[in-house]
C-alpha cells in the first residue's frame, strides 16, 4: 500500500510490541508508506491474528513461520552438512548453527530454505546462472 497509513502510530506500536525497536518499527512504517515491501522478524504469540491486526490498520501482512527444520531439509536431500552448504552457497558454520538451534535463519535465508525444500533444482539453476 503506497501513501499514508490510516493509523501510523498504532501500526508502529503494534510492530514494536512484536519485538522490534521503535526505530526499526518507524523505519518499517516509512517504507510501507512509500509503497515498499518490508521484511521484519517478529515474535508472534500463537493466539494473535497479526494479519487481521495489520489489515485493520490498512497494511497487508504476509506471515511466514520462522521455524524451519534445516537438518530435515538437508537430510531429505541426502547431503552432508558440508555438501549442503557448498551446493547452495551457504556458510557451513551458519548451517550448523541453524541445525543446532543456536541461531535462526533470517527472513531471506528462510525463503531460500523453503525453496530448497520444495524445489532444490530451481535453486541449483539460479545459482548456475
Q: CB under 8 Å, gap of 24 or more: what pairs does 95-101 form?
A: 95/70, 98/68, 98/70, 99/70, 99/71, 99/74
Give the count of domains, the chain: 2
Give 34's strand partners: 2
Is residue 51 assigned to a domain?
Answer: yes
Rounded to whole angstroms, the Cα distance separating 21 from 43 reads: 12
One domain for residues 74 and 105 = yes
**Considering the domain boundaries, does residue 62 fall inside one?**
no
pLDDT 10s digits, 82-110: 999 999 999 999 999 999 988 888 878 98
Under-50 pLDDT residues of the chain: 1
Q: Model pTM?
A: 0.57
Q: Are residues 52 and 77 in the same domain?
A: no
Q: State the residue range of the domain holding 111.
A: 70-128
- Adjacent-strand bridge partners of 94: none
| Residue 1 within any structural domain of the chain | no
- Clarify whether residues 49 and 15 are in a common domain: yes
Q: Are residues 75 and 120 in the same domain?
A: yes
Amino acid at each position: 500500500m503506497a501513501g499514508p497509513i490510516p493509523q501510523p502510530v498504532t501500526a508502529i506500536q503494534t510492530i514494536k510490541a512484536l519485538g522490534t525497536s521503535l526505530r526499526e518499527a518507524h523505519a518499517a512504517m516509512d517504507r510501507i508508506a512509500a509503497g515498499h515491501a518490508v521484511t521484519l522478524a517478529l515474535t508472534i504469540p500463537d493466539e494473535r491474528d497479526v494479519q487481521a491486526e495489520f489489515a485493520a490498520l490498512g497494511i497487508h501482512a504476509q506471515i511466514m513461520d520462522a521455524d524451519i527444520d534445516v537438518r530435515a531439509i538437508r537430510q531429505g536431500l541426502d547431503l552432508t552438512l558440508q555438501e549442503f552448504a557448498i551446493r547452495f552457497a551457504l556458510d557451513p558454520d551458519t548451517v550448523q548453527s541453524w541445525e543446532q538451534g543456536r541461531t535462526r535463519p533470517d527472513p531471506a535465508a528462510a525463503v531460500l530454505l523453503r525453496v530448497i525444500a520444495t524445489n532444490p533444482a530451481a535453486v541449483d539453476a539460479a545459482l548456475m546462472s
